[in-house]
Amino acid sequence: MIFGYPNIIVISDEIYEHINFIGKHESIAQFDSIRNRVVIINGVSKGYAMTGWRIGFSASAKWIAKACEKLQGQQTSGVCSIAQRAAIAAFNSDGEYIRQMRETFRRRRDLMYEGFSSIPGFMLNKPQGAFYIFPEISELLGKQYNSETINTSDDFAMFLLNHAHVAVVPGSAFGSPKCIRLSYATSDDKLKESIERIRNAVALLK
């Protein structure tokens, strides 16, 4: 389809390239036939766990990069030199801590998948990367607890906050109003506790 529209520019968000559980990361920019129309967006916040350093970058053909430079130069100032040096150190590392982090996330992914798959009303696929799960909770919509009715994922998120004391993000924020998003970028103990709290809260719904 892309080849039939030669004026389309492809923006490829590759921020999770290192948190990939299914094999080697593959970029669309590797194909010569389309490389000059690809803009890669990436940074150090996810794969290098450096969110607070605020380092991001784009990679593209020179003619696109020049246009991006004109826009960027008028909208933001330069990244501080300390953050730049930290990013250079990350890029030049041997990658061992990235592999360790990826395996930690893989274990936590499996923990979350197994835990939430066993909760009635939760339907989910096993994530292939990143550190979120995105279960569908449509079977729980319409259920009630006392005077509360769960009509939307926003209602369910508030229900969990009030009764399980667990914060989740409604899927409506991502265009999927029948889902919720949970991060597993925390300790195993906290994840296990959150699963049980949510399980107990869901059991209250009738």
User: Residue 202: which H helix or E strand, with range?
Assistant: helix 188-202
Give pLDDT, residue 103: 97
What's the CATH number of domain 2-91, 3.40.50.2020, 3.40.190.290, 3.40.640.10, 3.40.50.620? 3.40.640.10
Q: Which two tokens stand for residue 91?
A: 């890029």
pLDDT digits (tens, 9 = 90+) for 103-134: 999 999 999 999 999 999 999 999 999 999 99
Is pTM beyond 0.75 here? yes
Give pLDDT, residue 78: 78
* Averaged pLDDT of the chain: 95
Cα dist from 59 to 26, 45, 72, whole Å: 15, 17, 14
pLDDT digits (tens, 9 = 90+) for 147-196: 999 999 999 999 999 999 999 999 999 999 999 999 999 999 999 999 99
Give pLDDT, residue 71: 87
pLDDT band at 77 (very low <50, low <70, confident <90, very high): confident
Give pLDDT, residue 67: 93
Give pLDDT, residue 6: 87
- How many angstroms separate the first and last alpha carbons of the chain? 47
Nearest of 136, 109, 107, 134 to residue 122 by alpha carbon = 136
How many beta carbons lie within 10 A of that of residue 100, not counting itself? 10
Amino acid at 156: F
pLDDT digits (tens, 9 = 90+) for 18-36: 999 998 999 999 999 999 9
Contact 178, 151 (CB under 8 A): no
Residue by residue, DSSP assigns 78-125 as PPPHHHHHHHHHHHTS-SHHHHHHHHHHHHHHHHHHHHHHTSTT-B-P
Q: What is the mean pLDDT of residues 32-58?
A: 94
User: Quick one: 97-202 is in which CATH superfamily?
Assistant: Aspartate Aminotransferase, domain 1 (3.90.1150.10)
pLDDT band at 199 (very low <50, low <70, confident <90, very high): very high
Whether the pLDDT of residue 76 is over 80: the answer is no
* Portion of the chain with pLDDT greater than 90, in percent: 87
Give pLDDT, residue 132: 98
Give residues with Cβ within 8 angstroms of 70, minimum separation 6. none
Q: What is the mean pLDDT of residues 78-91?
A: 93
pLDDT band at 198 (very low <50, low <70, confident <90, very high): very high
> Could you state, in order of their start, the residue ranges of all structural domains in the chain?
2-91, 97-202
Give the C-alpha separation, 59 to 64, whole Å.
9
Give pLDDT, residue 12: 97
